[in-house]
Structure 1
Amino acid sequence: MLDSANNPLTLARFELKRFRGFLPRIALVFILLIPLLYGCIYLAGNWDPYGRLDQVPVAVVNHDEPTTVNDKRVAAGEDFVASLHREATFKFLDTDDADAAAGLQEGRYYLVITVPKDFSTDLVSGQGDDPQRAKIMLQRNDANGFVIGTITNSAQTSIAKAIDETAVRSYFEAVFANLATIREGMDAAADGAGKLDAGLATAHEGSTQLRAGAGKAADGADALASGASRLNAGAITARDGANQLASGLDQLHAGAGTLASGSAQVAGGTQQVADTVDPVLTVAAEKLPGAEQRVKAASERINTVAGKLATGSGSISAQTKAAVADADALIAAHPELAGDPAMQRLRNALDRTNTTAGAIDADVKAAASDVSAANTAIQGAGDLAAKARDAKAKVDQLNSGAHQVSSGAAQLRDGLGTAAPSAHTLATGLGTLADGASQLNSGATELAAGNRQLAGGSATLDDGLAQLATGAHELSTRLADGAAKLPHLTDDETDRAVQVLSAPVDVTMEVENPAHVYGRGLAPMFFSIALWVLGISAFFLVRPITGRVIAGRANDVRIAITAWLPLAGISVIAGWLMLAAAWIGLGLDPVHPWLMIGMVTLVSLAFSSVAHLLRTSLGLVATAAMLIVLILQLSSSGGTYPPELLPPFFSTIGHVMPMTYTIDAFRITISGGLMTKLARDAILMVVLLVSCLALLVLVVHRRRQFTEKDLHPPFG
């Protein structure tokens, strides 16, 4: 009988038999349900609070006034509100300012979102010169609950994202709307540049011709100056000959007078007439033919010069007028040359040359007329020389023709009187011709200098136009290439491009060992707390150890184990009930179900051993100690916040708190994780269990050493 009484299992059954009757059994059931009530019911209330955010009322007040950009209506406020209703993160309710303010104060709304009237205008202001940041006002009232305030505060990120997408969408809609206009403008610019290229190419050809013509004009002006110089020299020579002719005619006229006055004596003596007339006739015969030839040559030469310089399209005046017309045409074709100093000097020089050329034309024509008259006159003198030769030949006939000689002498005198003034006129005209030729030489020299300046300017113009033509061709090519690179999108392609560019990145997160809902993340902490609280509350009904067991003859180990087994059994069963309720009722569905069952069993045994050790050694004070340790564990075990976020004291003591490792173990068995960490946590729980039971044996051993006081109770 004593042996059976000393059997630990028998003693444990005896302890449990105390729970006879309805109330004791109800109390035992309550103890078994404590982990379920604490862990599962509280966990159920917090299982998925974020899953019902769409039931949280949030007021939306839209004051936005749509605007127009590039003839397109932009209603960003309407788009933003539509996106809120589409995403339905909260229960968004459209209302006005008064209702929103009253609802926030009364608790009907937990958040108020206000869109200002200039929202659309500010969003598209980035396309102008004064960009503005668009604003959205959020209001909350923490008097309605701080936690709900922090939850609604998270809406700021999603709202900002929706605003950014709306803003970027509006911007890119405007950008793509402008692409067609930009492309058309670039096409038109490319066409214009092509026409400019063609025009400059034509202008370059003209400037090349001008450059060559200016060079030829300069050469022609040099030749004109050289010819004018020769004309001047010839005119001077002709003038000198004309002066000699006039002097000879004067002498001939005097001799003719003498001949006329002495004709009366001719009849008196043929020998005397022959002696007197022969020298005169000899001089006339010798001088007049030479003068005739010189005057004739001068007439031909001056007529040739006049034909070249003073008449027709080849005249100096015609050429200078043509040069003036060409310069005016060049300035008209290139207005930018009108202000060029070199062109102005060239134009003035051409005007002066044109004026001088007109004067030269007139002088040359007059000289040609005078020389022609002199030639006519001198040809008459040639006839007279022929008569003189005949007279000399017919000296023997003087006697018979004395009267005829007298008459001929009178005619000779009269003819020579007419020829002498003409010779003087010829000399004067040739002098004028020499002066005109000198002026022509000076003007032609200035014309040559101006033409050389024109040639230099036209060369510069030609080079510049060549560079402009090259640049215009490159501009046309680049504009055409740029226009070709601008996309030509259909309306559907534009919409797709706007959608992609307004939200160019899809941010995804890959979660390892996901907890899925809020409750799965809290379950490890709630399970640990529930099993720890069971160790505190169980001793309201269960005795840690009885005097009968202590007085038994079993060894200390068997007595300690016998005293702990009832609490251990209650803890394991209560833990299984808690796990079953969470699994079946809440859908906990651990990733490692058998490991979860094993860890709940191990933690129940370990925590019950801690509770039994403290209650056996400290008595009623153990309840307070268990509560203090529970509070420390709640603050340091990392059930809600990671250790890195805790104050240094709590993060330090967390390393020695049992719940730190039970929470970690439950997380791994529920959601997955490193098996090495789970093994570590299980080993630590085994160490805790064995250590507490070993200490319990020591406590039992000490309590079995009775003193006299123990044998005489106060009320014995």
Structure 2
Amino acid sequence: MKSLSVFAKDLGAALKNPKVLIPMLVVLFIPVMYSGLFLKAFWDPYGKMNELPVAVVNEDKGARYEGKELTAGSDLMRELKQTDGFQWNFVTREQAEAGLDDSTYYMAIIVPEDFSAKATTLLDETPQPATLVYEPNEGYNFLAGQIGGTAVKDIKTKISAKVTEAYTKSVMVKVTEIADGLGEAGDGAGKIAEGAGKLDDGALKLMDNLLVLTDGTGKLLDGVKPLTSGVSELNSGASALQSGSSTLAGGLQQLSAAHQQLQTGVAQSTAGSRELSGGLKKTVAGTVQLQNGTQAAVEGTAKLQDGTKSVVDGSAKLAEGLTSSEAGSAKLTAGLQASADGSAQVTDGAKAVAAGLQQLAQSNPQLAASPAVQQLLQASAAVAEGSEKLQQSQQQLVQGATALHSGQEQLLQGAAQLHAGSQQLDAGVTALHSGAQQLHSGSTQLLEGQKRLAQGAAALETGGGKLTAGMQQFGTKLSEAAAGGSKLAEGGKALEAGTSALLSGARKLGDGLSSVADGSKQLAAGAGELKEGTAELKSGSGKLADKLGEAAEKTSAVKQSDAMIEMFAQPVKIEEHRINEVPNYGTGFAPYFLSLGLFVGALICTLVIPMRESAVPGASRLNRFISRTLTFSLMSILQSLLAAIIVLYGLGLEVQNIALFYTFTFITSIAFMWIIQAIVTWLDQPGRFVVIVILIFQLTTSAGTFPLELIPDWMKFFNPLLPMTYSVRGFKSVISTGDYSLMWSDAGALAIYGVAFLALTLGYFMFHNRDSEAAVKSEQVLTV
């Protein structure tokens, strides 16, 4: 009771002395000033961001996209005018730079002139992102720059969503067009399949006809071999005829010369009548042989004339057949060329379809991932490859048909030459036959004349004149026979030349028919490959038509709507579920500033309240300890009570439990007070310096502002050793999280700190010697 009496006397003396009472009342408001004013200043800084001046510059010139005007910069300006985020100042670039230089604006947002133009390059080969220039005046206020950076990111998100909506609308239009195009492609593929079926039937007929052509060419080649052999024999006979006709012509020349001599010797006929009679007998015999020879020549030339007429007729028929064959091969070449051109168009179309489908898959990854689209891509690639092979096969067929046509043209030329030679041969044979007939007629006449000469030999003398006339007539006929012999020799030469040309033409005909046979075989083989290719084309085009139909049906199912476009533009939305929600900065920083205010308030108390002595003379050590401790504890209770009331009702701080908040505030305040009391009691003025150092370490390591993980590692060592760590964490529990078990744990830690340091204070009073009287008097004693 005596200890409480000392405390009561000290308190009564203080209340009666204004110089003591006023400083004590001022010290009571130190925690309120720290925590209340700081929290008030930073209670909700984002609530007044509309007073933060920001310069906005729009230099965007706009752009055209899909036939529409895109003005992303102007759209942004309208969006900002409807937003209360900052105090927007829409100025020029020069005004913005001047405002940043003289600190009129905290930051500037600049929309470049190519902002809209770059926003339209998304689907280009090298897209360029639209750039929004942000220039914070961090030297003026760093935190304002950081806040502005966050706001600019939000603006960027909104602009990106608007641009994406424009892209999505364009893509949806393209998808609709693709659906229509796929439907048309499906119809076209159906027509391709129908045409491929007809082409398959035509290829089958072409293969059958080429097989018939190959067989006929083989038979024609077999028929040409006997012709070549007959023409060779005919050429040999013509050579023999030419040799015989030459000999006959020479004999007739000799006979003509002999006739001249005979005519000369007619004048001497009287003297040599016997010799003439004998010579005439020999002449009659020779003439008979000549007549027999000319008769055989007439018969031979008649047979030769019949043979040459057959040759002329055969060569004419051969020429007609080759003409028809040449016309057919020309039509075949033209048809194959048209088929090749058609297949080339089919190939180009198939490749275009495959390329279009490939571009569609690349522009739409979701569509490309569909199995049906993958099958469609494979089918279109197979059709393109098959149609290309078909085109190559048809090109080979065209080349073979061209070679066949060229060979048949050569055959036709050879047949024409053969026909012309056979006609010349026929003319020569006809002339030879005529000459042989004339020769036979002349020899008959010669025989008759010789007979008459023999009959008139008796009357030779009297009929000399008649003999001379007959000899003249005989000479004329003999000259005619000699001329006929010459013509016969010339006809033999012509016949030999004609048969040689006929033999050469027959050989060329055989070679040409061999080439035709080889070409027809190659055509037949190519037609077989064409048949296989058309079958594959028919099958592949059918599949292509089916798959294109399915793709068109699935693509047309994509319907454009505002909800879908919004989903494309903003596929992800953030749904925020706050755990232990903190409504504003003031609530978040309250644990830190309350701890700081109570600690500083306890420190200031040591400046106005004596630490060791009492106003009661002769008070014992224990009484002085109890009086000082109760005094500091009372100050602590009053400080904590004022601070709690101000933040709860003055600032409107919302806590999980008001009673526990008061309790924890009192525990924190008295623990800080007992800690500082012990340090200053033991060390006096140096003790206050030590307390300030402890305060500094607590400000940086208590995790009241930034998380503990963000401070340097060597500072983390002090976190569990200092009391403010537990006060900050306990206030967070009772204000925001509602984790009362953690709050009581932290309160226990603070109580341990307080009791431990209170024991140190008791130790000082119980075991430390009293200061000298001069030291006691020098201390400013507050009579409490």
TM superposition score category, shorter chain reference: 0.7 to 0.9
| Aligned counterpart, 1:17 | 12
Distance 1:318 1:80, change over 3 A: same
Question: Bigger CA drift: 485-494 or 123-132?
Answer: 485-494
- Show the 5 A alignment for 1:335-350: 346-350=404-408
Distance 1:709 1:193, change over 3 A: same
- Residues 228, 503 of structure 2: 8 Å contact kept: yes
| Aligned counterpart, 1:232 | 231
Structure 2 letter corresponding to 1:535: A
- Residues 190, 475 of structure 1: 8 Å contact kept: no
Structure 1 position 49, deviation (Å): 0.9
Establish whether residue 499 from structure 1 lines up as the match of residue 495 from structure 2. Answer: no
- Show the 5 A alignment for 1:295-374: 306-311=312-317, 315-320=321-326, 322-323=328-329, 326-327=332-333, 330=336, 346-364=404-422
Instruction: Structure 2: give runs of 5+ residues left out of the alignment.
Output: 252-283, 342-391, 438-476, 780-784
Question: Bigger CA drift: 161-170 or 148-157?
Answer: 161-170
Report the number of matched residues.
Answer: 686
| Aligned counterpart, 1:664 | 729
| Aligned counterpart, 1:519 | 586
Q: Give the distance between the partners of 2:339 and 2:432, measured in 1 at CA.
A: 51
| Aligned counterpart, 1:533 | 600
- Residues 418, 506 of structure 2: 8 Å contact kept: no
Q: From 674, 685, 698, give the equivalent of 2:750.
A: 685
Q: Give the distance between the partners of 1:324 and 1:645, measured in 2 at CA.
A: 91
Structure 1 letter corresponding to 2:636: S
Structure 2 letter corresponding to 1:360: L
Distance 1:159 1:131, change over 3 A: same
Give the secondary structure class of the aligned counterpart of 2:725. helix
- Residues 317, 357 of structure 1: 8 Å contact kept: no
Distance 1:194 1:108, change over 3 A: same
Distance 1:324 1:28, change over 3 A: closer
| Aligned counterpart, 2:137 | 141
Structure 2 letter corresponding to 1:611: I
TM-score of the superposition, structure 2-length normalised? 0.68
- Which gives a bigger RCO, structure 1 or 2 (Cα 8 Å, sep 6+)? 2
| Aligned counterpart, 2:115 | 119
Q: Give the distance between the partners of 1:636 and 1:180, measured in 2 at CA.
A: 62
Q: Give the distance between the partners of 1:582 and 1:359, measured in 2 at CA.
A: 128
Structure 1 position 589, deviation (Å): 2.2
- Residues 210, 458 of structure 1: 8 Å contact kept: no
Q: Give the distance between the partners of 1:157 and 1:370, measured in 2 at CA.
A: 111
Structure 1 position 526, deviation (Å): 0.6
Structure 1 position 64, deviation (Å): 0.7
Structure 1 position 602, deviation (Å): 1.6
- Show the 5 A alignment for 1:579-594: 579-594=644-659
Q: Give the distance between the partners of 1:499 and 1:447, measured in 2 at CA.
A: 77
Distance 1:604 1:356, change over 3 A: same
Structure 2 letter corresponding to 1:532: F
- Residues 571, 604 of structure 1: 8 Å contact kept: yes
| Aligned counterpart, 1:260 | none
Distance 1:15 1:110, change over 3 A: same
Q: Give the distance between the partners of 1:596 and 1:712, measured in 2 at CA.
A: 40
| Aligned counterpart, 1:202 | 199
Q: Give the distance between the partners of 1:550 and 1:457, measured in 2 at CA.
A: 139
Q: Give the distance between the partners of 1:491 and 1:471, measured in 2 at CA.
A: 31
Q: Give the distance between the partners of 2:333 and 2:564, measured in 1 at CA.
A: 59
| Aligned counterpart, 1:259 | none
Structure 2 letter corresponding to 1:536: L
Structure 1 position 521, deviation (Å): 1.6
Q: Give the distance between the partners of 1:61 and 1:480, measured in 2 at CA.
A: 56
| Aligned counterpart, 1:61 | 57
Q: Give the distance between the partners of 1:39 and 1:475, measured in 2 at CA.
A: 83
Q: Give the distance between the partners of 2:706 and 2:646, measured in 1 at CA.
A: 26
- Residues 313, 319 of structure 1: 8 Å contact kept: no
Instruction: Structure 1: give runs of 5+ residues left out of the alignment.
Output: 252-276, 380-412
Structure 1 position 145, deviation (Å): 3.0
Give the secondary structure class of the aligned counterpart of 2:60. coil
Structure 1 position 221, deviation (Å): 4.7
Establish whether residue 632 from structure 1 lines up as the match of residue 690 from structure 2. Answer: no
Distance 1:240 1:463, change over 3 A: same
TM-score of the superposition, structure 1-length normalised? 0.73
Distance 1:478 1:110, change over 3 A: farther
Distance 1:110 1:477, change over 3 A: farther
Q: Give the distance between the partners of 1:550 and 1:644, measured in 2 at CA.
A: 54
Give the secondary structure class of the aligned counterpart of 2:56. strand
Structure 2 letter corresponding to 1:699: Y
Distance 1:617 1:322, change over 3 A: closer
Structure 1 position 564, deviation (Å): 1.4
Structure 2 letter corresponding to 1:39: S
Structure 1 letter corresponding to 2:47: G
| Aligned counterpart, 1:605 | 670
Structure 1 position 536, deviation (Å): 2.1
Question: Bigger CA drift: 439-448 or 214-223?
Answer: 214-223
- Residues 613, 624 of structure 2: 8 Å contact kept: no
Q: Give the distance between the partners of 1:5 and 1:214, measured in 2 at CA.
A: 145
Q: Give the distance between the partners of 2:335 and 2:706, measured in 1 at CA.
A: 92
Q: Give the distance between the partners of 2:233 and 2:730, measured in 1 at CA.
A: 132
- Show the 5 A alignment for 1:27-46: 29-46=25-42
Give the secondary structure class of the aligned counterpart of 1:310. helix
Structure 1 position 83, deviation (Å): 4.2
| Aligned counterpart, 2:346 | none
Give the secondary structure class of the aligned counterpart of 2:109. strand
Q: Give the distance between the partners of 1:525 and 1:90, measured in 2 at CA.
A: 29
Please list the CA deviations of residues 503-535 of structure 1 after superposition, one character each: whole Å capped at 9, or x if unmatched: 333345655333232112211111101111221
| Aligned counterpart, 1:222 | 221
Distance 1:569 1:67, change over 3 A: same
Structure 1 letter corresponding to 2:218: D
Give the secondary structure class of the aligned counterpart of 1:444. helix
| Aligned counterpart, 2:614 | 547
Structure 1 position 102, deviation (Å): 4.6
| Aligned counterpart, 2:85 | 89
Distance 1:674 1:694, change over 3 A: same
Structure 1 letter corresponding to 2:107: L
Distance 1:107 1:302, change over 3 A: same
- Show the 5 A alignment for 1:234-273: 235=234
Structure 1 position 568, deviation (Å): 1.7
Give the secondary structure class of the aligned counterpart of 1:73. strand
Please list the CA deviations of residues 640-685 of structure 1 after superposition, one character each: whole Å capped at 9, or x if unmatched: 2233433455443343221122112212222227666545423321
Give the secondary structure class of the aligned counterpart of 1:154. helix
Give the secondary structure class of the aligned counterpart of 1:92. strand
Question: Bigger CA drift: 676-685 or 193-202?
Answer: 193-202
Structure 1 position 141, deviation (Å): 3.1
Distance 1:680 1:634, change over 3 A: same
Distance 1:81 1:658, change over 3 A: same
| Aligned counterpart, 2:503 | 438
Distance 1:27 1:217, change over 3 A: farther
Distance 1:455 1:588, change over 3 A: farther
Please list the CA deviations of residues 431-477 of structure 1 after superposition, one character each: whole Å capped at 9, or x if unmatched: 56743542332122221233245336535754775687557975896
Give the secondary structure class of the aligned counterpart of 1:512. coil
| Aligned counterpart, 1:47 | 43
Structure 1 letter corresponding to 2:408: L
% identity of equivalent residues? 20
- Residues 320, 357 of structure 1: 8 Å contact kept: no
Q: Give the distance between the partners of 1:541 and 1:328, measured in 2 at CA.
A: 122
